[in-house]
Structure 1
Amino acid sequence: MATSAGDKAEQAGDSASLEVFARGGLIAYGVVHLLIGWLALQIAWGTSASKSADPSGALRTVADHPFGQVLLWLVAVGLVALALWQASEAIWGYHNRDGAKRVRKQVTSTAKAVIYAALGFSAASVALSSGSSSSQSQQETTSGVLAWPAGHVIVVVTGLIIIGVGVAGVSKGVKKSFSEEIDTSSMPRAARKGVARLGQVGYIAKGVALVLVGGLLSYATLTFDPQEAPGLDGALQTILAQPFGRFLLTAVALGFLAFGLFAMLQSRYRRM
């Protein structure tokens, strides 16, 4: 009976309908990054300060447009489906991998499932007009965790994990290891090179931003000032405050735009 239930659950994880929704989720994931990149460009060149260049700011940009609520619910459904697909991969996938490589893939899929689910929840919250900015939510969460026993250790470790994820993203971009996840054999050679370049630029830029987020979070915790623990928007503002910050932030923004386009292309060419 247990085996039968497990087989049915695995079949559900591999179902065609879930794949369709998950591919739609990749489009939604790409749109969120395109909007973050666009908002970051506006911040870099001083054309807008009304929205945060973080996921919640991107989602509020969607909400401000006609049919925005409907689009947000579509984004939420797609991202949740993407989370379910990654969860099924973590539980039942990678049977052809051995040892540490299989465990690494499962951990990565689990982390992605959590990220996609959180973004889906954020989209639903904004659709219901109950979402707060990612930076504000992070500060509230950080303050709460710091009150726990060993709370500072937990937050610093979390910051180090975020740094690790960022470094892994940069490495993935430099090595172009993301090419294992997509099948572009049907593309002309020039198009394949263009997709690879988008992936490289996108992963590296996003990785750099995550390293900065994790570093700022850990630093704020060690200096006992949780209100100085910014999210992605705060990290981008920190880049802007540096010498030549406008140009550095522009480069990061273009990287997010590249990652968004790459994610949308994955909806067509991702191996599932």
Structure 2
Amino acid sequence: MNSSNSAASTARAAQDSKAFRGLARVGYAVLGILHILIGAIAISIATGGGGENADQGGALEQIQKSPAGVVLLWVIVLGLLALAVWQIAEAVVERDPDSKKKWGHRIKFLGTAGAYIAIAATALVYALGGQSQSSESSQSFSARLLAAPAGVALLVLVGLIVGAVGVAFIVRGVTQAFTKHLDLPSGTARKGIIAFGVAGYIAKGIAVAVAGILFVVAALTHDPETAGGLDAALRALAGLPFGAVILWVVGAGLALYGLFCFARARYARM
């Protein structure tokens, strides 16, 4: 058996495990918790409060301070790692007959896995009693990139990629493409889940797209402090005309995306 067949058989064995599938579904549920908290922080900023970071770090810090927070943080770590492994397994067993589509799907699965691993790593820091400033991480990443040869072009490329991810979320929401990966119930429940998904995907897409724009601005102005990840993106929305209203709507949309993630934990095809 060659290494490719071995990897595929291992991936299928993981996906056939009921326990592993259950843990991966927990991953979707904890994503829901994080997005609801981020949405709540964004709404707090829109209404004049919001000292916390409106990103995964801010949400995880709130969980860390809560009763049984450390236990929940470890559940988040395990659930997201299982979800990441599931995405990697999907990439391995992907068999679309169209070669370009196959590799496109694989890149998407692996990119999603990387995002889940990054959030799990941040959750691990909090579970061990530490803290993480994702905005500072984004700024230091931007500063290091700007200092490299062709750094401006590279940071613009990063911004365009992040922006493209945001646009992809918006398109997925508008076209309801996410429903292809769900076994939804019928009736009112189906309509409600789809509505949450549409609103959530669009809101998350807007926030991610703005984060991408900030990376481009940081590159063109040679100011790495402009790039601050999701928190900076949401605060940038607050600075727009009618920004408080826009941020409130986006925050509510992120919370709805969180509720959609709970439905996804139950109805995702796995």
Residue by residue, what CA displacement relative to the aligned partner does 1:152-202 show, whole Å, maximum 9, x if unpaired?
222111110011001111111110010101011xx2311111111111000
Q: State which of 25, 30, 54 in structure 1 corresponds to 2:32.
A: 30
The amino acid of 1:257's aligned partner reads: A
Q: Judge conservation of contact 2:34–2:59 (CA < 8 Å) in 1.
A: yes
Residue by residue, what CA displacement relative to the aligned partner does 1:215-259 show, whole Å, maximum 9, x if unpaired?
011111111011121211111111111121111100000110111
Question: Which TM-score applies when normalising by structure 2?
Answer: 0.95
The amino acid of 1:38's aligned partner reads: A
Question: Which TM-score applies when normalising by structure 1?
Answer: 0.94
Cα separation, 2, equivalents of 1:261 and 1:128: 28
Q: State which of 29, 42, 45 in structure 2 corresponds to 1:40.
A: 42
Cα separation, 2, equivalents of 1:47 and 1:156: 32
Cα separation, 2, equivalents of 1:206 and 1:244: 19
Q: Judge conservation of contact 2:8–2:92 (CA < 8 Å) in 1.
A: no
Identical amino acids, percent of aligned pairs: 38
Secondary structure class of the residue paired with 1:48: coil
- Deviation of the 1:96 alpha carbon: 4.3
Q: Return 5+ residue gaps in structure 2 as ranges.
A: none
Root mean square deviation, CA, Å? 1.4
Note if 1:67 corresponds to 2:74: no
Partner of 2:123: 123
Note if 1:188 corresponds to 2:190: no
Secondary structure class of the residue paired with 2:212: helix
Partner of 1:241: 239
With over 3 angstroms needed to count, the CA separation of the structure-2 counterparts of 1:101 and 1:5, relative to structure 1, is closer
With over 3 angstroms needed to count, the CA separation of the structure-2 counterparts of 1:47 and 1:226, relative to structure 1, is closer
Note if 1:110 corresponds to 2:73: no
Cα separation, 2, equivalents of 1:141 and 1:7: 35
Q: Judge conservation of contact 2:7–2:92 (CA < 8 Å) in 1.
A: no
Partner of 1:56: 57
Partner of 1:20: 22
Cα separation, 2, equivalents of 1:7 and 1:161: 29
Q: Which structure 2 residues correspond to residues 141-152 of structure 1 after superposition, within 5 A?
A: 141-152=141-152
Partner of 2:98: 98
Q: State which of 227, 230, 235 in structure 2 corresponds to 1:229.
A: 227
- Deviation of the 1:2 alpha carbon: 3.0
Secondary structure class of the residue paired with 1:194: helix
The amino acid of 1:44's aligned partner reads: A
- Deviation of the 1:46 alpha carbon: 1.6
Secondary structure class of the residue paired with 2:49: coil
Cα separation, 2, equivalents of 1:21 and 1:41: 31
With over 3 angstroms needed to count, the CA separation of the structure-2 counterparts of 1:245 and 1:7, relative to structure 1, is closer
- Deviation of the 1:59 alpha carbon: 0.4
- Deviation of the 1:7 alpha carbon: 4.9
Q: Judge conservation of contact 2:169–2:202 (CA < 8 Å) in 1.
A: yes
The amino acid of 2:20's aligned partner reads: L
Cα separation, 1, equivalents of 2:96 and 2:159: 32
Residue by residue, what CA displacement relative to the aligned partner does 1:33-60 show, whole Å, maximum 9, x if unpaired?
01100111111112331x1001100000
Q: Return 5+ residue gaps in structure 1 as ranges.
A: none
Cα separation, 1, equivalents of 2:229 and 2:113: 20
Cα separation, 2, equivalents of 1:140 and 1:197: 38
